[in-house]
Amino acid sequence: MNVFEFVLGIVLIGTIGSILKARYGVRKDMWGNETPAGGDAATVAENSRLREELRGLRERIHVLERVVTDNESGQRLDREIDKLRDKNNV
């Protein structure tokens, strides 16, 4: 076996491996980690649940930002806190 046959064999093995990975849906991310394409039903369901939870958390943050930045509500909240402090001090 000469050098050229050896190189051809290595290239052939690499090509067959790449074809098999593509056929069975194995993908690489930018760090070289190999994962199955599409994922299973449990992964898809968990991703959907996490997206819904994230959407809910974003809505809550939006409400909190509105409460904090609204001057009238902030002043009213300060008065309520002061009232509670006065009740505890009596």
Regarding whether 52 and 21 lie in a shared domain, the answer is no
Regarding whether 34 and 10 lie in a shared domain, the answer is yes
| Domain count of the fold of the chain | 2
* CB distance 74 to 63 below 8 Å: no
Question: Residue 77 belongs to what domain range?
Answer: 40-90
Regarding whether 54 and 21 lie in a shared domain, the answer is no
Regarding whether 82 and 71 lie in a shared domain, the answer is yes
Regarding whether 61 and 49 lie in a shared domain, the answer is yes
Per-residue pLDDT of the chain (90 residues), as tens digits, is: 788 899 999 999 999 988 887 777 777 777 877 777 666 777 778 888 999 999 999 988 888 887 777 766 667 777 887 887 887 765
**Whole-model pTM?**
0.41
Q: What is the dihedral of CA 61, 67, 68, 69, to 10 degrees?
A: 100
